Amino acid sequence: MAERGMRNSGTDPRETDSYRRGGEKAEESSEKGIVRPMRIEDLGSVIAIEQVSFPTPWSIHSFATELRDNEYARYHCLEVGGLVIGYMGLWFILDEGHITNVAIMPGHRGRHWGEFLMRSVMSKMAMEGMERMTLEVRVSNDPARRLYERLGFKVAGRRKGYYVDTREDALIMWLEL
Ligand SMILES: CC(C)(COP(=O)(O)OP(=O)(O)OC[C@H]1O[C@@H](n2cnc3c(N)ncnc32)[C@H](O)[C@@H]1OP(=O)(O)O)[C@@H](O)C(=O)NCCC(=O)NCCS
């Protein structure tokens, strides 16, 4: 099972096959990724990625509120060469992780940084006692769906017209860690 593989891969995502794939690409330009908790100082970079990634981007205020006031929020940044090129947020409720957002800067997409970021966060969260994760994804979002399926997420349902901006349906996906 993919999920067992993730947990057995240990805390260092560099031990995973997926990282080695991404790492090989990254080594061509001497890039190494670091996944670490998001800080208020990151929000300028985060919002720049957010604005080019989503039809209805969150405001900087929304991110700041999450970081400062939401005890369930866990937000991480992916830093490469000293630059924040991606981030992922979730709410850790009981033993479940509800993913709120994940994005990679456009010029860095398709190189498995999204996979590296998500596997790193999943590994950290599993160590904190998280047992399953869920997310919603637009039906038309092929890159995201391919990434989630590769990580072992399974479609568990569909919300009709969930996205108010385009009235598009959402697929609900779950993963057992
Ligand atoms: C979804 C997202 C985070 C994936 O990040 P990423 O670093 O590109 O992810 P990966 O490289 O690990 O995997 C992307 C997969 O989609 C595929 N893909 C297809 N078209 C792509 C495109 N235009 N750009 C990037 N990947 C694409 C890749 O080939 C890869 O699949 P494969 O390994 O089976 O070939 C990124 O595309 C993004 O930030 N999108 C905008 C925000 C978003 O939609 N977030 C998800 C909300 S639910």
Say yes or no to pLDDT of 4 above 70. no
Q: E strands within 28-168?
A: 33-37, 73-80, 83-93, 96-104, 132-138, 154-159
> Going edge to edge, which strands form the sheet with 170-176?
33-37, 73-80, 83-93, 96-104, 132-138, 170-176, 154-159
Matching residue, tokens 């779950």:
174
Q: By percentage, how much of the chain surpasses pLDDT 90? A: 80
The b/e string for 17-50 (b: 16+ C-beta within 10 A; e otherwise) is ebbeebbeebeeeebebebeebeeebbebbbebb
Distance 69 CA to ligand 1 centre (A): 30
Give the domain ranges of the chain. Answer: 2-176
Atom of ligand 1 nearest to the CA of 138: 48
Span 43-65, pLDDT tens digits: 999 999 999 999 999 999 999 99
Question: For residue 31, what pLDDT band results from cuts at 50, 70 and 90?
Answer: confident
Looking at the CA of residue 115, tell me the nearest atom of ligand 1: 12
Q: Which residues are tagged catalytic?
A: 136, 148
Q: What residue's CA is closest to ligand 1, atom 26?
A: 110
Of 170, 148, 175, nearest to 160 (Cα)? 170
With H, G, I as helix, E, B as strand and everything else as coil, classify residue 109. Answer: coil
Mean pLDDT of the chain: 87
Mean of pLDDT values over 19-48:
74
Which residues contact ligand 1 via a Cβ below 6 A? 53, 102-104, 109-115, 137, 141-144, 146-147, 150
Closest CA to 60 of 73, 69, 51: 51
Partners of residue 152 on adjacent β-strands? none
Structure tokens at 63: 């991110």
Most informative mutation of 146, 153, 155, 172 for ligand 1 (most atoms within 8 A of CB)? 146
Exposed/middle/buried for 109, CB within 10 Å: 0-12, 13-18, 19+? middle
- pLDDT tens track for 128-157: 999 999 999 999 999 999 999 999 999 999
- Rounded average pLDDT over 99-125: 97
Residue pair 168/161 in contact by the 8 Å Cβ criterion: yes
Confidence of residue 164 (pLDDT cuts 50, 70, 90): confident
Total-model pTM:
0.85
CATH architecture of 2-176: 3-Layer(aba) Sandwich (3.40)
Nearest-atom index, ligand 1, CA of 116: 12
